[in-house]
Protein backbone atom coordinates (compact mmCIF):
# COMPACT_ATOMS: atom_id res chain seq x y z
CA UNK A 1 0.00 0.00 0.00
CA UNK A 2 1.49 3.32 -1.08
CA UNK A 3 0.59 6.46 0.92
CA UNK A 4 1.10 10.07 -0.13
CA UNK A 5 1.83 11.88 3.14
CA UNK A 6 -0.16 15.04 3.80
CA UNK A 7 2.12 17.77 5.05
CA UNK A 8 2.04 21.36 6.14
CA UNK A 9 4.80 23.85 5.41
CA UNK A 10 6.13 25.79 8.37
CA UNK A 11 8.87 28.23 7.49
CA UNK A 12 10.13 25.98 4.70
CA UNK A 13 10.02 22.84 6.91
CA UNK A 14 7.71 20.01 5.92
CA UNK A 15 5.81 18.43 8.82
CA UNK A 16 3.20 15.67 9.09
CA UNK A 17 -0.02 17.15 10.44
CA UNK A 18 -1.74 15.82 13.59
CA UNK A 19 -4.99 15.41 11.66
CA UNK A 20 -3.29 13.21 9.09
CA UNK A 21 -1.64 11.04 11.77
CA UNK A 22 -5.00 10.67 13.52
CA UNK A 23 -6.53 9.45 10.26
CA UNK A 24 -3.80 6.81 9.91
CA UNK A 25 -4.43 5.72 13.50
CA UNK A 26 -8.15 5.29 12.88
CA UNK A 27 -7.59 3.43 9.60
CA UNK A 28 -5.36 0.91 11.34
CA UNK A 29 -7.68 0.50 14.33
CA UNK A 30 -10.59 -0.31 11.99
CA UNK A 31 -8.63 -2.87 9.94
CA UNK A 32 -9.42 -6.29 11.46
CA UNK A 33 -6.81 -8.06 9.35
CA UNK A 34 -4.02 -5.81 10.57
CA UNK A 35 -5.22 -6.02 14.21
CA UNK A 36 -5.06 -9.82 14.00
CA UNK A 37 -1.61 -9.62 12.41
CA UNK A 38 -0.54 -7.23 15.17
CA UNK A 39 -1.27 -9.94 17.74
CA UNK A 40 0.73 -12.54 15.81
CA UNK A 41 3.74 -10.34 15.12
CA UNK A 42 4.04 -8.83 18.58
CA UNK A 43 3.96 -12.33 20.09
CA UNK A 44 6.06 -14.26 17.55
CA UNK A 45 8.12 -11.71 15.61
CA UNK A 46 7.72 -10.32 12.10
CA UNK A 47 9.38 -12.95 9.91
CA UNK A 48 8.15 -15.95 11.91
CA UNK A 49 4.60 -14.67 11.46
CA UNK A 50 5.00 -14.02 7.73
CA UNK A 51 6.87 -17.22 6.80
CA UNK A 52 5.50 -19.04 3.75
CA UNK A 53 5.35 -22.81 4.22
CA UNK A 54 5.17 -23.42 0.50
CA UNK A 55 8.67 -22.02 -0.05
CA UNK A 56 10.08 -25.09 1.72
CA UNK A 57 8.42 -27.56 -0.64
CA UNK A 58 9.39 -25.52 -3.69
CA UNK A 59 13.10 -25.58 -2.75
CA UNK A 60 13.92 -29.11 -1.66
CA UNK A 61 17.68 -29.84 -1.33
CA UNK A 62 18.06 -32.08 -4.39
CA UNK A 63 20.28 -31.06 -7.29
CA UNK A 64 21.22 -32.45 -10.70
CA UNK A 65 24.83 -31.34 -10.04
CA UNK A 66 25.89 -31.96 -6.42
CA UNK A 67 29.62 -31.64 -5.81
CA UNK A 68 30.08 -32.19 -2.08
CA UNK A 69 28.46 -33.41 1.11
CA UNK A 70 31.52 -32.69 3.29
CA UNK A 71 30.70 -31.42 6.80
CA UNK A 72 30.45 -27.64 6.90
CA UNK A 73 32.77 -25.28 8.76
CA UNK A 74 31.89 -22.62 11.32
CA UNK A 75 33.26 -19.08 11.31
CA UNK A 76 31.59 -18.48 14.70
CA UNK A 77 31.43 -14.86 15.87
CA UNK A 78 33.75 -13.45 13.22
CA UNK A 79 33.50 -11.91 9.76
CA UNK A 80 35.83 -14.40 8.06
CA UNK A 81 33.28 -15.82 5.59
CA UNK A 82 35.41 -14.86 2.58
CA UNK A 83 38.35 -16.83 4.03
CA UNK A 84 36.18 -19.81 4.94
CA UNK A 85 34.65 -19.86 1.46
CA UNK A 86 38.06 -19.73 -0.24
CA UNK A 87 39.60 -22.35 2.02
CA UNK A 88 36.51 -24.55 1.65
CA UNK A 89 37.05 -24.71 -2.11
CA UNK A 90 40.62 -25.95 -1.42
CA UNK A 91 39.39 -28.22 1.36
CA UNK A 92 37.08 -30.22 -0.91
CA UNK A 93 39.96 -30.78 -3.32
CA UNK A 94 42.23 -31.92 -0.48
CA UNK A 95 39.61 -34.35 0.89
CA UNK A 96 39.09 -35.85 -2.58
CA UNK A 97 42.75 -35.93 -3.63
CA UNK A 98 44.09 -37.41 -0.40
CA UNK A 99 41.06 -39.53 0.58
CA UNK A 100 40.59 -38.09 4.04
CA UNK A 101 37.43 -38.31 6.17
CA UNK A 102 37.43 -34.63 6.94
CA UNK A 103 39.95 -31.80 6.96
CA UNK A 104 40.19 -28.04 7.49
CA UNK A 105 42.83 -25.49 6.63
CA UNK A 106 43.53 -22.91 9.32
CA UNK A 107 41.30 -19.90 8.89
CA UNK A 108 42.99 -18.34 11.95
CA UNK A 109 46.36 -18.42 10.13
CA UNK A 110 45.10 -16.39 7.15
CA UNK A 111 43.21 -14.16 9.61
CA UNK A 112 46.48 -13.23 11.38
CA UNK A 113 48.30 -12.27 8.21
CA UNK A 114 45.32 -10.41 6.79
CA UNK A 115 45.09 -8.27 9.95
CA UNK A 116 48.83 -7.59 9.80
CA UNK A 117 48.78 -6.67 6.11
CA UNK A 118 45.62 -4.57 6.42
CA UNK A 119 47.33 -2.57 9.16
CA UNK A 120 50.27 -1.81 6.89
CA UNK A 121 47.87 -1.04 4.00
CA UNK A 122 45.98 1.43 6.21
CA UNK A 123 49.17 3.18 7.28
CA UNK A 124 50.31 3.51 3.67
CA UNK A 125 47.01 5.17 2.72
CA UNK A 126 47.25 7.50 5.73
CA UNK A 127 50.68 8.78 4.73
CA UNK A 128 49.57 9.12 1.11
CA UNK A 129 48.15 12.12 -0.70
CA UNK A 130 45.03 12.78 1.40
CA UNK A 131 44.25 15.75 3.63
CA UNK A 132 42.22 16.09 6.81
CA UNK A 133 39.28 17.64 4.94
CA UNK A 134 39.21 14.90 2.33
CA UNK A 135 36.23 12.55 2.54
CA UNK A 136 38.60 9.75 1.58
CA UNK A 137 40.60 10.20 4.79
CA UNK A 138 37.43 10.23 6.87
CA UNK A 139 36.38 7.05 5.08
CA UNK A 140 39.67 5.38 5.99
CA UNK A 141 39.42 6.43 9.62
CA UNK A 142 35.84 5.26 9.96
CA UNK A 143 36.96 1.61 9.84
CA UNK A 144 40.77 1.25 9.61
CA UNK A 145 40.40 -2.49 9.17
CA UNK A 146 37.73 -5.17 9.55
CA UNK A 147 37.30 -8.91 9.24
CA UNK A 148 35.78 -8.87 5.75
CA UNK A 149 37.52 -9.05 2.42
CA UNK A 150 37.41 -9.78 -1.29
CA UNK A 151 38.62 -12.79 -3.27
CA UNK A 152 41.69 -11.02 -4.69
CA UNK A 153 42.69 -9.98 -1.17
CA UNK A 154 42.58 -13.63 -0.15
CA UNK A 155 44.77 -14.55 -3.11
CA UNK A 156 47.31 -11.93 -2.00
CA UNK A 157 47.54 -13.65 1.41
CA UNK A 158 47.87 -17.14 -0.10
CA UNK A 159 50.58 -15.96 -2.49
CA UNK A 160 52.66 -14.36 0.26
CA UNK A 161 52.07 -16.57 3.29
CA UNK A 162 50.75 -19.91 2.08
CA UNK A 163 48.37 -21.93 4.25
CA UNK A 164 48.57 -24.44 7.11
CA UNK A 165 46.28 -27.14 8.51
CA UNK A 166 43.92 -26.10 11.27
CA UNK A 167 45.58 -28.63 13.58
CA UNK A 168 48.87 -26.72 13.23
CA UNK A 169 47.41 -23.26 13.93
CA UNK A 170 44.07 -23.73 15.72
CA UNK A 171 41.39 -21.23 16.65
CA UNK A 172 41.87 -18.73 19.47
CA UNK A 173 39.28 -16.82 21.47
CA UNK A 174 39.97 -13.77 19.30
CA UNK A 175 39.65 -15.54 15.95
CA UNK A 176 36.37 -17.21 16.94
CA UNK A 177 34.96 -14.00 18.41
CA UNK A 178 36.73 -11.02 16.87
CA UNK A 179 34.82 -8.10 18.40
CA UNK A 180 37.44 -7.22 21.05
CA UNK A 181 40.30 -7.72 18.63
CA UNK A 182 38.77 -5.34 16.09
CA UNK A 183 37.82 -2.77 18.69
CA UNK A 184 41.33 -2.40 20.05
CA UNK A 185 43.18 -2.90 16.79
CA UNK A 186 41.16 -0.07 15.23
CA UNK A 187 41.72 2.05 18.33
CA UNK A 188 45.45 1.48 17.92
CA UNK A 189 45.39 2.19 14.18
CA UNK A 190 43.57 5.50 14.56
CA UNK A 191 46.17 6.52 17.12
CA UNK A 192 48.89 5.40 14.71
CA UNK A 193 47.28 7.52 11.98
CA UNK A 194 47.59 10.61 14.17
CA UNK A 195 51.22 9.78 14.98
CA UNK A 196 52.08 9.28 11.31
CA UNK A 197 50.36 12.48 10.21
CA UNK A 198 52.16 14.44 12.91
CA UNK A 199 55.49 12.90 11.86
CA UNK A 200 54.79 13.98 8.28
CA UNK A 201 53.97 17.53 9.35
CA UNK A 202 57.18 17.77 11.38
CA UNK A 203 59.33 16.37 8.57
CA UNK A 204 60.31 13.30 10.61
CA UNK A 205 61.33 9.82 9.46
CA UNK A 206 57.90 8.39 8.67
CA UNK A 207 59.22 5.00 7.59
CA UNK A 208 61.12 4.48 10.85
CA UNK A 209 58.09 5.49 12.88
CA UNK A 210 55.84 3.21 10.84
CA UNK A 211 58.16 0.25 11.45
CA UNK A 212 57.93 0.83 15.19
CA UNK A 213 54.16 1.01 15.00
CA UNK A 214 54.00 -2.20 12.94
CA UNK A 215 56.06 -4.00 15.58
CA UNK A 216 53.45 -2.95 18.12
CA UNK A 217 50.67 -4.20 15.83
CA UNK A 218 52.49 -7.50 15.27
CA UNK A 219 52.95 -8.01 19.00
CA UNK A 220 49.28 -7.30 19.61
CA UNK A 221 48.18 -9.81 16.96
CA UNK A 222 50.61 -12.48 18.13
CA UNK A 223 49.34 -12.18 21.70
CA UNK A 224 45.66 -12.30 20.73
CA UNK A 225 45.78 -14.83 17.89
CA UNK A 226 49.01 -16.70 18.60
CA UNK A 227 52.36 -16.57 16.81
CA UNK A 228 51.91 -18.24 13.39
CA UNK A 229 54.35 -20.97 12.33
CA UNK A 230 57.11 -20.37 9.82
CA UNK A 231 57.98 -24.07 9.53
CA UNK A 232 55.96 -27.03 10.74
CA UNK A 233 55.40 -30.79 10.60
CA UNK A 234 52.06 -32.37 9.80
CA UNK A 235 51.07 -36.02 9.45
CA UNK A 236 47.80 -37.85 8.78
CA UNK A 237 46.34 -41.19 7.65
CA UNK A 238 43.79 -41.37 4.85
CA UNK A 239 40.81 -43.70 4.39
CA UNK A 240 43.15 -46.40 3.04
CA UNK A 241 45.25 -46.12 6.21
CA UNK A 242 48.15 -44.66 4.22
CA UNK A 243 50.49 -42.47 6.26
CA UNK A 244 51.37 -39.03 4.92
CA UNK A 245 53.85 -36.59 6.44
CA UNK A 246 54.82 -33.04 5.56
CA UNK A 247 57.78 -30.96 6.77
CA UNK A 248 58.32 -27.43 5.48
CA UNK A 249 56.93 -23.90 5.23
CA UNK A 250 53.31 -22.80 4.79
CA UNK A 251 54.18 -21.80 1.22
CA UNK A 252 55.56 -25.30 0.57
CA UNK A 253 52.43 -26.82 2.06
CA UNK A 254 50.23 -24.86 -0.34
CA UNK A 255 52.28 -25.97 -3.34
CA UNK A 256 52.29 -29.63 -2.30
CA UNK A 257 48.73 -30.09 -1.09
CA UNK A 258 46.68 -27.50 -3.03
CA UNK A 259 48.77 -26.56 -6.08
CA UNK A 260 46.19 -24.29 -7.73
CA UNK A 261 47.46 -21.38 -9.79
CA UNK A 262 45.18 -18.63 -8.52
CA UNK A 263 46.21 -16.33 -11.36
CA UNK A 264 43.96 -18.50 -13.52
CA UNK A 265 40.86 -17.33 -11.62
CA UNK A 266 39.00 -14.04 -12.03
CA UNK A 267 36.33 -12.15 -10.13
CA UNK A 268 33.12 -11.69 -12.10
CA UNK A 269 30.38 -9.39 -10.82
CA UNK A 270 26.83 -8.49 -11.72
CA UNK A 271 26.24 -4.80 -11.02
CA UNK A 272 23.38 -3.61 -13.28
CA UNK A 273 23.75 0.09 -12.47
CA UNK A 274 24.15 2.78 -15.14
CA UNK A 275 27.63 3.77 -13.96
CA UNK A 276 29.04 0.29 -14.63
CA UNK A 277 28.56 -0.86 -18.24
CA UNK A 278 28.81 -4.61 -18.79
CA UNK A 279 31.92 -6.26 -20.22
CA UNK A 280 34.28 -3.80 -18.61
CA UNK A 281 36.68 -4.20 -15.67
CA UNK A 282 36.60 -2.28 -12.41
CA UNK A 283 38.67 -1.77 -9.30
CA UNK A 284 37.96 0.21 -6.12
CA UNK A 285 40.08 2.97 -4.61
CA UNK A 286 41.69 2.10 -1.25
CA UNK A 287 40.50 -1.53 -1.48
CA UNK A 288 43.17 -4.08 -0.65
CA UNK A 289 45.31 -5.63 2.05
CA UNK A 290 48.79 -6.58 0.81
CA UNK A 291 50.74 -3.59 -0.49
CA UNK A 292 52.21 -4.71 -3.81
CA UNK A 293 49.95 -7.78 -3.85
CA UNK A 294 47.20 -8.77 -6.24
CA UNK A 295 44.96 -5.91 -7.30
CA UNK A 296 41.24 -6.24 -6.56
CA UNK A 297 39.64 -6.39 -10.00
CA UNK A 298 36.19 -7.31 -11.32
CA UNK A 299 34.64 -8.06 -14.72
CA UNK A 300 31.00 -6.93 -14.89
CA UNK A 301 28.63 -9.13 -16.92
CA UNK A 302 24.87 -9.53 -17.22
CA UNK A 303 23.16 -12.01 -14.90
CA UNK A 304 22.44 -14.65 -17.53
CA UNK A 305 26.13 -14.86 -18.45
CA UNK A 306 27.08 -14.68 -14.76
CA UNK A 307 25.05 -17.82 -13.97
CA UNK A 308 26.25 -19.68 -17.06
CA UNK A 309 29.87 -19.17 -15.97
CA UNK A 310 29.12 -20.54 -12.51
CA UNK A 311 27.30 -23.54 -13.99
CA UNK A 312 30.16 -24.24 -16.42
CA UNK A 313 32.66 -24.39 -13.58
CA UNK A 314 30.49 -26.77 -11.57
CA UNK A 315 29.91 -28.95 -14.63
CA UNK A 316 33.71 -29.23 -14.77
CA UNK A 317 33.69 -30.49 -11.17
CA UNK A 318 34.74 -27.33 -9.31
CA UNK A 319 32.81 -25.50 -6.63
CA UNK A 320 32.45 -21.71 -6.93
CA UNK A 321 33.30 -18.97 -4.41
CA UNK A 322 30.52 -16.38 -4.50
CA UNK A 323 29.43 -13.19 -2.73
CA UNK A 324 25.85 -12.17 -1.97
CA UNK A 325 23.56 -10.21 0.34
CA UNK A 326 22.70 -13.17 2.56
CA UNK A 327 20.35 -11.32 4.91
CA UNK A 328 17.83 -10.54 2.18
CA UNK A 329 14.75 -12.81 2.01
CA UNK A 330 16.68 -15.31 4.10
CA UNK A 331 15.35 -18.08 6.35
CA UNK A 332 18.46 -19.00 8.34
CA UNK A 333 16.89 -21.84 10.31
CA UNK A 334 15.48 -23.59 7.26
CA UNK A 335 18.44 -22.68 5.08
CA UNK A 336 16.32 -21.02 2.40
CA UNK A 337 17.26 -18.06 0.21
CA UNK A 338 14.13 -17.46 -1.80
CA UNK A 339 12.01 -14.53 -2.92
CA UNK A 340 8.81 -16.08 -1.54
CA UNK A 341 10.16 -16.89 1.94
CA UNK A 342 7.89 -14.29 3.59
CA UNK A 343 4.54 -12.87 2.54
CA UNK A 344 4.45 -9.11 3.08
CA UNK A 345 1.99 -8.37 0.28
CA UNK A 346 -1.15 -10.26 1.32
CA UNK A 347 -0.58 -9.74 5.04
CA UNK A 348 0.69 -6.16 5.29
CA UNK A 349 -0.22 -4.83 1.83
CA UNK A 350 3.49 -4.04 1.42
CA UNK A 351 5.30 -4.82 -1.81
CA UNK A 352 9.04 -4.37 -2.31
CA UNK A 353 9.46 -3.23 -5.90
CA UNK A 354 13.02 -1.90 -6.14
CA UNK A 355 15.15 -3.43 -8.87
CA UNK A 356 18.60 -4.82 -8.23
CA UNK A 357 20.10 -1.63 -9.64
CA UNK A 358 17.81 0.49 -7.46
CA UNK A 359 18.81 -1.38 -4.33
CA UNK A 360 22.49 -0.81 -5.13
CA UNK A 361 22.02 2.87 -5.95
CA UNK A 362 19.91 3.61 -2.88
CA UNK A 363 21.92 1.70 -0.31
CA UNK A 364 19.41 -1.11 0.27
CA UNK A 365 21.73 -3.95 -0.77
CA UNK A 366 25.36 -4.88 -1.36
CA UNK A 367 27.58 -7.91 -0.89
CA UNK A 368 27.64 -8.91 2.78
CA UNK A 369 28.68 -12.56 2.81
CA UNK A 370 30.73 -15.08 0.85
CA UNK A 371 29.86 -18.76 0.53
CA UNK A 372 30.41 -21.65 -1.89
CA UNK A 373 28.18 -22.79 -4.72
CA UNK A 374 28.37 -26.56 -4.29
CA UNK A 375 25.69 -27.62 -6.72
CA UNK A 376 22.87 -26.57 -9.02
CA UNK A 377 19.62 -28.06 -10.27
CA UNK A 378 19.19 -27.71 -14.03
CA UNK A 379 16.02 -28.12 -16.09
CA UNK A 380 15.77 -30.03 -19.36
CA UNK A 381 17.17 -27.04 -21.27
CA UNK A 382 20.18 -26.65 -18.98
CA UNK A 383 18.84 -23.58 -17.17
CA UNK A 384 19.29 -23.20 -13.44
CA UNK A 385 16.28 -23.75 -11.16
CA UNK A 386 17.90 -23.65 -7.70
CA UNK A 387 21.39 -23.68 -6.23
CA UNK A 388 23.14 -25.63 -3.47
CA UNK A 389 24.99 -23.27 -1.13
CA UNK A 390 27.68 -24.33 1.35
CA UNK A 391 27.68 -21.88 4.25
CA UNK A 392 30.17 -21.45 7.10
CA UNK A 393 27.73 -21.03 10.00
CA UNK A 394 28.01 -24.57 11.36
CA UNK A 395 25.71 -27.57 10.91
CA UNK A 396 22.78 -26.11 12.87
CA UNK A 397 21.96 -23.48 10.23
CA UNK A 398 20.02 -24.86 7.28
CA UNK A 399 20.27 -28.50 6.21
CA UNK A 400 23.42 -29.62 8.05
CA UNK A 401 24.90 -26.24 7.17
CA UNK A 402 23.86 -26.24 3.50
CA UNK A 403 21.33 -23.76 2.08
CA UNK A 404 19.11 -23.72 -1.00
CA UNK A 405 18.93 -20.56 -3.10
CA UNK A 406 16.16 -20.17 -5.66
CA UNK A 407 17.18 -19.00 -9.11
CA UNK A 408 15.16 -15.80 -8.67
CA UNK A 409 16.99 -15.04 -5.41
CA UNK A 410 20.33 -15.55 -7.14
CA UNK A 411 19.28 -13.05 -9.79
CA UNK A 412 18.43 -10.39 -7.23
CA UNK A 413 20.99 -10.76 -4.43
CA UNK A 414 24.15 -12.39 -5.81
CA UNK A 415 26.89 -10.00 -6.86
CA UNK A 416 30.17 -11.88 -7.32
CA UNK A 417 31.59 -15.24 -8.40
CA UNK A 418 35.14 -16.45 -8.96
CA UNK A 419 35.67 -18.62 -12.03
CA UNK A 420 38.49 -19.98 -14.14
CA UNK A 421 39.80 -17.53 -16.69
CA UNK A 422 39.56 -20.14 -19.48
CA UNK A 423 35.75 -20.12 -19.12
CA UNK A 424 35.64 -16.52 -20.32
CA UNK A 425 35.15 -15.67 -23.97
CA UNK A 426 38.00 -13.98 -25.81
CA UNK A 427 36.17 -10.66 -25.58
CA UNK A 428 35.51 -11.09 -21.85
CA UNK A 429 39.11 -11.94 -21.16
CA UNK A 430 40.28 -8.86 -23.05
CA UNK A 431 37.85 -6.72 -21.07
CA UNK A 432 39.12 -8.17 -17.80
CA UNK A 433 42.76 -7.60 -18.75
CA UNK A 434 42.11 -4.00 -19.81
CA UNK A 435 42.92 -1.12 -17.50
CA UNK A 436 40.08 -1.05 -14.96
CA UNK A 437 37.86 1.91 -14.17
CA UNK A 438 38.57 3.05 -10.60
CA UNK A 439 35.44 3.25 -8.45
CA UNK A 440 35.13 5.48 -5.38
CA UNK A 441 36.04 3.88 -2.03
CA UNK A 442 32.40 3.77 -0.90
CA UNK A 443 31.04 2.18 -4.08
CA UNK A 444 28.87 -0.88 -3.28
CA UNK A 445 31.19 -3.07 -5.35
CA UNK A 446 33.86 -2.30 -2.77
CA UNK A 447 31.83 -3.98 -0.05
CA UNK A 448 33.69 -6.63 1.95
CA UNK A 449 32.16 -10.05 2.46
Active-site positions read 81, 369, 391
Query: Residue 78: which region, alpha, beta or left (left: phi > 0; alpha: psi -120 to 50)?
Result: beta
Q: In angstroms, how far is the first alpha carbon of the chain from the final one?
A: 34
Please state, in angstroms and rounded to a whole number, the distance separating the CA atoms of residues 260 and 250: 14
Please state, in angstroms and rounded to a whole number, the distance separating the CA atoms of residues 399 and 218: 40
Strand-pair category, 384-390 with 369-378 = antiparallel
Dump the DSSP string for 383-432.
-EEEEEEE-SB-TTTTBTTEEEEEHHHHHHHEEEEEEEGGGS-HHHHHHH
Strand-pair category, 402-406 with 243-248 = unpaired
What are 377's strand-pairing partners?
A: 386
Residues 6+ positions from 368 with CB-CB distance below 8 Å: 324, 325, 326, 327, 447, 449
What are 370's strand-pairing partners?
A: 323
Helix axes of 250-257 and 151-161: crossing angle, nearest 10 degrees: 110
Amino acid sequence: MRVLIAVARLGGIMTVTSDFTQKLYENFAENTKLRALENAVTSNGLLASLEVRGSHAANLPEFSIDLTKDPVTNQKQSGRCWMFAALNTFRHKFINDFKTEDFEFSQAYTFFWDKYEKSNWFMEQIIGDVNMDDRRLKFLLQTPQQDGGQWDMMVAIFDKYGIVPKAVYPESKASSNSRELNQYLNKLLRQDAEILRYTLEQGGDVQAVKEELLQEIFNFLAVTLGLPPQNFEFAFRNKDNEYKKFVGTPQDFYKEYVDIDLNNYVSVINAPTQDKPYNKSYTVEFLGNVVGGKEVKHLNVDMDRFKKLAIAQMQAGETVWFGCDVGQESNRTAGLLTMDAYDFKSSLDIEFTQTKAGRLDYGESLMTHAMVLAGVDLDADGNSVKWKVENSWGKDAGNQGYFVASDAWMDEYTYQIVVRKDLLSQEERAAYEAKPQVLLPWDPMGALA
